[in-house]
Structures are given as C-alpha cells and as structure tokens.
Amino acid sequence: MTGERSNATITKFILLGFSEFPKLTIVLFSIFLGIYFMTVTWNVSLIVLIRVDSHLHTPMYFFLSNLSFLDICYVSTITPKMLSDFFKKHKSISFLGCTLQYFIFSSLGLTECCLLAAMAYDRYAAICNPLLYTAIMSPTLCVQLVAGSCITGFLGSLIQLCALLQLHFCGPNVINHFFCDLPQLLILSCSDIFFFQVLISVLTVIFGLASVLVIMISYGYIVATILKITSAEGRSKAFNTCASHLTAVTLFFGSGIFVYMYPNSDDSLSQNKLASVLYTVIIPMLNPLIYSLRNKEIKDALSRWRKRIF
C-alpha cells in the first residue's frame, strides 16, 4: 500500500531519504555523521565555555547558550533517525512516530524563531540604550524571554499537532524526504486540508512575520544608532556585535521561507530536500562558528580556558 489511495488507514510511512543516490550511501552517511558529531561537540563546548567563564555571564551569551542547547535538540530530532535509515532496506516510521517527530521538530523551530527575535531585542537594548542595558535586560527578563519562547513554540506546535491528527491518511504512504515534514504530510492526506492551510497561514503570520517584524524594527533602530557613531572603531565594534546574529537570522529564515513558501511540485521536492538539509543539519552546526569566529570575547574566553587547562 505504497503507491495508491485506498479506504484503509495508514499506520506507517516510508521515508525515501536519499535513496535516489544509492552509490553515495556510505559517503552521505559519513558526511552527515561527521556533521552531527561536530554540531553536538561545538554547541556543547560553547555552552560549557559560557557557563564556566564569568566574563560571559551577560544576557547576550545567556541567549546564545540557550540557542546552542536548542540546536542540539533540533538536530537530534532529525539526524539519528536519518543516519539509521541509510542502511535499512525498509525505511519506515510509524504514524505515531512521524507525528511525534514533527511535533518536536516544529516546537523547536517555532521556539528558535521567537528566541532569534529576543536576541535581536537584546542587541537593540545593548546598542541603542547602552547606559540602561543592564537595567533593561535584567536576569528576570532574560529568563522570561527564553521561557516565553519555549512555551509559545510548544503551544504553536501543539495546535498544529491537534489539527494534523484530525487528517485522514489512506495512501500512498511514501514520503519523499528524510524526515516527517508538514508539506510532505499534507500531500499524502486524503482529507480536505483547506482548514489546515488556513491554520498554518495564521501561525506563519503569528510566528514568522511577527518574529521578522521584531527583528527588522530592532535592527532599524540599531542601524540608525550606528550611523550616528562618529568614530570608525566604535561603528565597527557595534556592527560586529550584530553581524553574527544577522547571519544566523538570514540563514534560518531564508531556508525556511524557501521550503514552506515554495510550491510543492515534483520538480521542487529535491530542492526542498536540499534546503531542509540546510536548516535542519547545517545551520545548527554553523551557529557556534558564526557567533565565535569574529567574537573577541569568545576568543578571549577560549584563551583563558586553555591557560587553565595547560
């Protein structure tokens, strides 16, 4: 029951993964395993560094450590199952496992949207109100912003899950993807998905556009403030504190928009799969590097850590 519709209810799905590249199985497995290992290692190292170095006990690095933890959970929701499927003849996943995977993945993704917006507000407070920064970004507010991001992401995903469970799947049950993502599930549904599409549109406006709006407004004020700085050194320093976050935001939202706003035609499935690799596997690995390579405080903390060890 993998190719045509019937009246039966689907109890499991077949994930095609990267089966279109049978000769590259070992190569792809090795690449994704290496990426997963580096992602976990780099993000854990960044969390530990921020925790043990008192110089990094600031709101900016508090948010960054939470982003790293989020990225570890994010990539661990997808990659282990994907890696195990490379050498399986039958790459199946139960209906319950599929919906649970999407629920967790969606919760983490929506949480990251909110957290990136909170980080943009933090940069706004640091650059536009430096004298009041400590008062504005109090430890209580920082915890509230992170907790609010998690709760909002969970509730948004829970709404999707409840709506998804109302859909009927009668076949086919083949998902041309390496994980259970929403666009592919909707293609396979035998139910009328109009209400679900309206719901997704509303959630997209609430989470996607609202987060982007907060980020754009924050950086609008930031750019205006930077332009008023007279010294080139001060302007460069202010810009460098935002460049990393802007890069992470562009990669995350750019790849997400491509996948979820692009028409789901047969020609676009491979492109969507490649874009999905970017935001589910590559970006969580790159984030620690993006925030560390040009960050003097991180480099100084690493130097102090090496001196303690050696």
pLDDT tens digit sequence for 284-304: 999 998 888 778 888 888 888
Task: Name residue 14's beta-bridge partners.
Answer: 92, 174
Q: Stretch 96-119: mean pLDDT, rounded? A: 94
pLDDT at 6 over 70: no
Tell me the two tokens of residue 253: 């939202």
pLDDT tops 80 at residue 268: no
- For residue range 63-100, what is the model confidence (pLDDT) as tens digits? 999 999 999 999 999 999 999 999 887 889 999 999 99
| Whether the predicted pLDDT of 272 surpasses 80 | no
Residue 196: the pLDDT is 83
Question: pLDDT of 213-257, one tens digit each?
Answer: 999 999 999 989 888 887 777 777 777 778 888 888 988 888 877
pLDDT at 264: 56
**How much is the pLDDT for 1?**
45
pLDDT averaged over every residue in the chain: 87
- Do the Cβ atoms of 20 and 86 come closer than 8 Å? no
* Domain spans of the chain, in order of start: 12-309
Distance CA 305, CA 294 (A): 18
Between 38 and 187, name the one with better pLDDT. 38
Mean pLDDT score, 262-269: 56
Using pLDDT thresholds of 50, 70 and 90, give the confidence band for residue 306: confident
pLDDT of residue 286: 92
pLDDT at 138: 95
Cβ atoms of residues 175 and 15 within 8 Å? yes
Please report the pLDDT score of residue 207 as a whole number: 81
C-alpha to C-alpha distances, 244 to 186, 228, 292, 310, nearest whole angstrom: 35, 21, 8, 30
CA 132, CA 125: separation in Å to the nearest integer?
Answer: 8
The answer to whether 91 and 85 are in contact (CB under 8 A) is yes
Q: DSSP labels for 122-171? A: HHHHHHH-GGGHHHHT-HHHHHHHHHHHHHHHHHHHHHHHHHHTTS---S
Q: What is the domain class of 12-309 according to CATH? A: mainly alpha
pTM for this model (two decimals): 0.90
* Arithmetic mean of pLDDT, 259-270: 60
Q: Is residue 187 over pLDDT 90? A: no
Cross-strand bridge partners of residue 92: 14
Bridge partners, residue 15, by sequence: 175
pLDDT for position 267: 53
